[in-house]
Structure 1
Amino acid sequence: MSEPVRLQKYLATCGVASRRKAEELISAGRVSINGKVITSMGEKVSPGKDTVLCDGKPVLVDEEHIYVMLNKPKGYVTTLSDPQGRPVVTSLVSDIPHRLFPVGRLDLDTEGALLLTNDGALAQKIQHPSHETNKTYEALVQGHPGQTKLKLLEKGVILEEKKTAPATIKVVKHMQRQTLIEITIHEGRKRQVKKMFEFIGNPVISLKRIAYGRLFLGKLPSGKYKILNPKDLKKIFL
C-alpha cells in the first residue's frame, strides 16, 4: 500500500476495524492525520508518509493477516471498548500479538462463533450483503412453533418495513415447553433471529451461532479460540 488511499480503507487494512466501523471511528473524531482530527470520509492517507493515530495510538500496516474463530461467551460485547465497562471479546484473544477486531457482532446475551481478524478486506467481504455469507444459529425458543409458522420464517417476514431474505429452518429437538431450532440466514440485521421468532410468537430463550458457511464451531470450548488456516477460510464462502 503506497498510493494515497481513503482513510477508512487504511484503518481497515491496518486491522483497526472493519471499514464500516472505521467510518464510525472517524465520525466520532477518534482519528487524526498528522495531528489534525478528521471527521469526514473524503480524506486520504499516504502510507509511510502520513502519521495516523486512532485514540492517540499509531496506526500502522500489519503485514501478517490473522484469522481467529472465538467461541464467544454470554456477557461479552463485540466492540473494541465499552463505556459501561463490560468485558470485550478482544480481551479473550489478548495473547495474540496483533490488533484484531470482530467481524460483525453478537448480542451481549448471545454466544457462539465469532470471527476476529486484522484483515479489513476479508471482513468487508463477509459482511457485505452481495456475498450472502450464511450464518447458522441454534435458537432455543418458547413453545412448539408449527410448520405453518416455520414455513413463514423460511419464506421471509416483514421486520421494520422490510422483508427478511429466505431462511433455512430445521427442528432439532422438541422439549416439554421449548423447541431447539437450527436457523440459517445470510443477512446481518440487528437482533434479526430474535425478532423473527418474536414475530411468530415464539420468543428466543437462548441463542448460539454455530457456523459461518460450512465453518462450524464444533467442540471449541466457551471463551477459547482457534487460529484459522486458508482451508478454513474457504469453508466460510461455500
Structure 2
Amino acid sequence: MRLDKFLAHCRLGSRKEVRQMLSDHRISVNDAIETDSSHKIDPDKDTVFCDGKKIIYREFDYFILNKPQGYLSATVDDTEKTVLDLIEPQDVVKGLFPVGRLDKDTTGLLLLTNNGALGHELLSPKKHVTKKYEAIVRPPLPTDVIRQFLEGIKYGKTTFKPASLVLLEELPEGIKVHVTITEGKYHQVKKMFRAVGSRVNSLKRIEMGPLKLPEDLSLGNYRRLSEKEEKQLLSSVD
C-alpha cells in the first residue's frame, strides 16, 4: 500500500494534507523519516509514526451505540434524525452503516461498521445470530406463554422461529421480560407479544451475538469496540 494512501485511510488528512506532512518530515516508517508519498508499506508488518505517535491501521471500523428513542436506524433520511447524527464527524467513515434495524422508539445496542460483508453475515438467517431484548409488556400474559414462544409464535400469516422468554418481575408499568430471538423481522418482538394478547410498552436490545450493551454506556453515546469484542464478533460468524 502506498504510504499516502495508508495515512489518508487512517484519517490523518486528505492525500494533499498527508503529502505535506511527509514533506515536513513528520512521518517515520520503521524508525526512519520518510518523505516519499509513493513509498510502499505493509500495514501488518511496518510501523508508522506521525509526530512520534504510532498510527494504528484499521481495515474496518466497529462502533457500539446505545441508541435512544427518536432516531432512525438508517444512514440518511430527508426528514428524520438518523443514528449517524449521533456519531462524531471524524468517526463517520465512508460506508458506515447500522447493522440491522431498531425501531424509532426502541433503544439499546446497535452495531455500526463499514464492513459490509460482516453486516451481511450477522443478518443472514443461516447464521442464527441471537438478539436479546429487555421489554416491559402489558399484563396479563398467558400461563403457557413461555411454551408458546419456544414453539414459535404465529402472527397472521407469519410464524416466527422459536424464541426464549424469561419472565423477570412485575412492575407498576408492566411485566419485565427478556426475550431472545434469532431473526430480525419487522416489528418482530412487538408482533410476538400482540399474538399472545399483550403489548410492548418499552423495548431495549441488550445483546447481539457476543456483544453486550455496556452498563456504563449511556443513551446516545457510543464507543469503538475493544480488540476482544472485535475478535469475538468476527469469530461469531466464521
Aligned residue for 1:107, secondary structure, equals coil
The question of whether the paired residues in 1 share the 8 Å contact of 2:142 and 2:196 is answered with no
The answer to whether 1:74 aligns with 2:69 is yes
Task: Return the alpha-carbon distance in structure 1 between the equivalents of residues 142 and 154 of structure 2.
Answer: 19
User: Structure 1 residue 166: deviation in Å?
Assistant: 1.0
Residues 134 and 184, structure 1, Cα contact 8 Å, conserved in 2: yes
Structure 1: which 4+ aligned runs deviate by more than 2 Å?
233-238
| TM-superposition CA deviations, 1:153-196 (whole Å, max 9, x none) | 22111234232111111112112461011000010100000000
Q: Which residue of 2 aligns with 1:150?
A: 146
* Equivalent position SS for 1:154: helix
Give, in whole Å, the separation in 2 of the partners of 1:207 and 1:147: 22
What's the CA shift string for 1:33-70, capped at 9, x where partnerless?
Answer: xxxxxxxxxxxxxxxxxxxxxxxxxxxxx972001110
Counterpart among 213, 218, 221 of residue 217 in structure 1: 213
Does structure 1 retain, via aligned residues, the 8 Å contact 2:136–2:173?
no
Q: Deviations over 1:105-157 (max 9, x none)?
A: 01010010000000001101100000010000011000131441232022111
CA change 1:197–1:235 in 2 (3 A) is farther
Q: Are the counterparts in 1 of residues 63 and 111 from structure 2 also a CA contact under 8 Å? A: yes
The answer for unaligned runs of 5 or more in structure 1 is 1-61
Preserved contact between residue 215 and residue 232 of structure 1 (Cα < 8 Å): yes
Residue 227 in structure 1 maps to residue 221 in structure 2:
no
1:234/1:200 Cα in 2 relative to 1: closer, same or farther (>3 Å)?
farther
Cα contact 1:67–1:227 (8 A) shared by 2:
yes
RMSD: 1.9
Tell me the residue number matched to 1:118.
114
**Which one has a bigger Cα radius of gyration?**
2
Q: Distance in 2 between matches of 1:194 and 1:151?
A: 18
Distance 2:125 2:131 in 1: 12
The one-letter code of the counterpart of 1:225 is Y
Is contact 1:153–1:167 with CA below 8 Å preserved after alignment?
A: yes
- In structure 2, the residue matched to 1:98 is 93
Helix, strand or coil at the partner of 1:201: coil
In 2, distance between residues paired with 1:234 and 1:179?
Answer: 36
Q: Secondary structure at the match of 1:187?
A: coil
Could you tell me the TM-score, scaled by structure 2's length? 0.69
Shift, 1:234, TM fit: 4.4
Task: Please point out which of 164, 167, 170 is paired with 2:163.
Answer: 167
TM-score of the superposed pair, with normalisation by structure 1: 0.69
The 8 Å contact of residues 146 and 164 in structure 2, kept in 1 or not, is answered as no
For residues 229 and 66 of structure 1, the distance between their equivalents in structure 2, rounded to whole angstroms, comes to 11
CA contact (8 A) 1:72 1:89 kept: yes
Quote how far apart the aligned CAs of 1:78 are.
0.8
Distance in 2 (alpha carbons) for counterparts of 1:169 and 1:233: 28
**2-structure distance, mates of 1:128, 1:233:** 19
Question: Between the two proteins, what is the percent identity of the paired residues?
Answer: 37
> Structure 1 residues 143, 117: closer, same or farther in 2, change over 3 A?
same
Which runs of no fewer than 5 residues in structure 2 stay unpaired?
A: 1-56
Matched position secondary structure for 2:59: coil
Q: Which moved more, 1:96-105 or 1:127-136?
A: 96-105
1:81 Cα shift? Answer: 1.4
Tell me, in whole angstroms, the C-alpha distance in 2 between the residues paired with 1:177 and 1:205. Answer: 8
